Amino acid sequence: MKLKATLIVALAVAAVAGPQASAATTGPVAKAAAWACKSERAQMGKATFRATYGATPMRTCMRMTRAEALEAVRNAAQECRAERAEDPAAFRTKYGTNESGDNAFGRCVSRHARGELAPEVAATVNAARACKAERRDDPEAFHAKYANDNGRRAFARCVIATKSS
């Protein structure tokens, strides 16, 4: 009975939230966002990654990257459909890894989406490096310039400001 009630609630939430919400939190969009965040963490280092994204850095990074990842996956899917339409056999040979090449489309989308997200990852990493240098040069001025009203989140605010400029 409890399982049935849980299933009904889950279906109702999915119906209300729509396919966009579930697509953005699971599947290729979530994988693309996770790839971008893991790549940032590897390039920045864990301490800088945490300073950039706060107490739950991976969750926060994925939430902030989700829109970009969704756009990247949509664009990649269009590119892959066009490429597959030109020559299906060559497409399966190029991207497929199993015997029948059935996984070719997913691998193509993943590869193209990562390619689209790579400049965004590089921009964030470069902004974090610039903020680290600025903070090292004059910590008091850095804190006064970027800290919020509570005196917190100076590094994260610096990364956002540096990345957008």
Give tens-digit pLDDT for 44-64: 999 999 999 999 999 999 999
Residue 155 lies in a domain: yes
| 142 occurs within a structural domain | yes
pTM attached to this predicted model: 0.80
Domain tally for the chain?
1
Question: Is 3 part of a structural domain of the chain?
Answer: no
Report if residue 5 sits inside a domain: no
Contact call for residues 114 and 34 (beta carbons, < 8 A): no
By residue range, what is the domain housing residue 137? 23-164
- Look at the block and give the residue holding tokens 């969750």: 59
In a domain, 15, yes or no: no
> What distance in Å separates the CA atoms of residue 32 and residue 72, rounded to the nearest whole number?
8
- Give the model confidence (pLDDT) of 16-46 as tens digits: 444 444 445 678 999 999 999 999 999 999 9
Per-residue confidence band for 13, with pLDDT thresholds at 50, 70 and 90: very low
Residue 90 falls inside a structural domain: yes
119 within domain boundaries: yes
Cβ atoms < 10 Å from Cβ of 124: 26
Does some domain include residue 53? yes
